[in-house]
């Protein structure tokens, strides 16, 4: 018999997954039960929003800028052929807002905020801090999970809006430097391509993605076991799971939004 340094006494992967899903749903309901006393947690939530926003502002600015310029360059190749470069700003911006913006920001956040949240909560769990909260008469879901959950969702909105502005700026810069298109020309056509529907859709997507991210990272962090090694494992788990869930959620929301659009047109 060989020595095993890992644990694989899992009875059945599917059963385990279902059990996990069930407990994740119960966990979510316990978090949402505190929605009634948002006011009570105001200070904590603001603190979390501030922390998360500050933590990710730089990376979002950088990636927003480059996504905007990549979109502008890509669209310019086709628009040049039709001599329709004046439409560039509008097309690149609406493309970013509708699709790439929310997805990219969610990716960035799952790498940063998701991983950070899981490692922070996981460390609290394996060093008995969460049990200590219970012993000192408090509910850890209310004290530490709820503010983070709401914080992640709210901060994502700010970061999306911020990211979209930097992407417009990135596209504008690329257009000016590479295509000699003036900023005025770049910005002029944006209103024509951007309707309320696509803005709302974008906000809705960000809500769905950040909701998934908040749920996954807090659930996995809160249920960490097995010391420092367990924390490391769970950070990886959060990153992998949240990326796949976000892509899946993007597919679902795109599908649903297409059908809604068809219905009304």
Partner 1 sequence: MNNQKQTNPSPSPIISFLQVRKSFGNNVVLKNVTLDIYPGEIIFIIGRSGSGKSVLLKHLVGLIRPDSGDIFFKAQNLSHLKENEFFPIRQKVGLIFQQPALFDSLTVYENVAFGLQRLQKRSGKELEDQINKVLATLAISDLKNRKPNTLSFGQQKRVAIARTIALNPEVLLFDEPTTGLDPVATTVVNGLIASLSRKMKTTSVVVSHDMHSAFTIADRIVILHEGEVLVGGTPAEIKQCSHPLVQEFIKEV
Min dist CB 134 to partner 1, Å, is: 7
| Nearer to partner 1 among residue 3 and residue 10 (C-beta) | 10
Does 131 help bind partner 1 (rule: CB under 8 A)?
A: yes
Alpha carbon distances (Å) from 6 to 11, 229, 240:
15, 12, 20
- Structure-block tokens of residue 41: 């947690």
Provide, rounded to whole angstroms, the least separation between the CB of residue 145 and partner 1. 14
Q: Which structure tokens are listed for 11?
A: 């009875």
Shortest distance in whole angstroms from residue 132 CB to partner 1: 4
H or E element in which residue 128 lies: none
* H/E element, 34: none
Cβ contact 177:79 at 8 Å? no
Tell me the window of 74-82, 83-91, 126-134, 193-201 that interacts with partner 1 (CB under 8 A). 126-134
Site for partner 1 (CB under 8 A): which residue of 18, 23, 128, 182? 128
With contact defined as beta carbons under 8 Å apart, do 147 and 50 qualify? Answer: no
Stretch that binds partner 1, among 61-69, 123-131, 213-221, 242-250 (CB under 8 A): 123-131
Q: Is 43 in the site for partner 1 (CB under 8 A)?
A: no
CB of residue 124 vs partner 1: minimum separation in angstroms? Answer: 8
Residue 179 φ/ψ, nearest 5 degrees: -120, 0
The gap from C-alpha 260 to its chain's centroid, in whole angstroms, comes to 24
127 binds partner 1 (CB under 8 A): yes
109 Cβ neighbours under 8 A, 6+ residues apart: 56, 152, 156, 159, 209, 210, 213
The verdict on 9 binding partner 1 (CB under 8 A) reads: yes
Cβ-based nearer residue to partner 1, 132 or 256: 132
* Residue 135 binds to partner 1 (criterion: CB under 8 A): yes
The reply to whether 23 sits near partner 1 by the rule CB under 8 A is: no
Nearest distance from C-beta of residue 123 to partner 1, angstroms = 8
Is residue 129 a contact point for partner 1 (CB under 8 A)? yes
Alpha carbons 239 and 244: distance in angstroms, whole number: 9
Q: Which is nearer to partner 1, 9 or 43 (CB)?
A: 9
Binding span for partner 1 by CB under 8 A among 91-99, 135-143, 158-166, 206-214:
135-143
The answer to whether residue 11 forms part of the interface with partner 1 (CB under 8 A) is no
* Shorter beta-carbon distance to partner 1: residue 129 or 244: 129
In 10 A of CB 92, how many CB atoms? 33
Residues 62-91 that bind partner 1 (CB under 8 A): none
Distances (CA, A) of 51 to 56, 91, 94, 116: 9, 34, 29, 11
Of the candidates 154, 184, 186, 161, the one whose C-alpha atom is nearest the C-alpha of residue 75 is 186
Contacting partner 1 (CB under 8 A), which of 81, 137, 262, 264? Answer: 137
Q: Determine how many CB atoms are found less than 10 A away from the CB of residue 97.
A: 24
Residue numbers at the binding site for partner 1 (CB under 8 A): 9, 127-129, 131-138
């Amino acid at each position: 018999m060989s020595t095993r340094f890992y644990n694989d006494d899992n009875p059945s992967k599917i059963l385990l997954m279902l059990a996990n899903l069930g407990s994740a749903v119960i966990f979510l309901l316990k978090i949402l039960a505190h929605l009634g006393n948002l006011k009570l947690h105001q200070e904590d939530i603001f603190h979390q929003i501030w922390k998360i926003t500050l933590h990710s502002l730089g990376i979002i600015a950088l990636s927003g800028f480059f996504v905007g310029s990549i979109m502008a360059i890509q669209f310019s190749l086709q628009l040049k052929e039709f001599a329709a470069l004046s439409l560039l700003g509008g097309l690149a911006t609406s493309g970013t807002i509708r699709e790439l913006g929310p997805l990219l920001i969610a990716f960035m956040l799952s790498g940063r905020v998701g991983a950070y949240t899981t490692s922070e909560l996981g460390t609290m769990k394996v060093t008995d801090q969460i049990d200590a909260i219970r012993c000192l008469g408090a509910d850890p879901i209310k004290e530490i999970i709820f503010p983070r959950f709401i914080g992640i969702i709210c901060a994502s909105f700010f970061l999306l809006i911020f990211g979209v502005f930097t992407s417009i700026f990135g596209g504008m810069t690329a257009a000016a430097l590479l295509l000699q298109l003036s900023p005025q020309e770049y910005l002029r056509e944006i209103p024509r391509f951007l309707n309320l529907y696509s803005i709302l859709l974008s906000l809705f997507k960000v809500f769905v993605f950040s909701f998934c991210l908040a749920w996954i990272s807090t659930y996995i962090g809160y249920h960490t076991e097995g010391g420092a090694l367990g924390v490391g494992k769970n950070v990886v788990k959060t990153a992998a799971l949240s990326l796949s869930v976000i892509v899946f959620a993007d597919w679902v929301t795109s599908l649903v939004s297409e059908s809604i659009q068809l219905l009304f047109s």
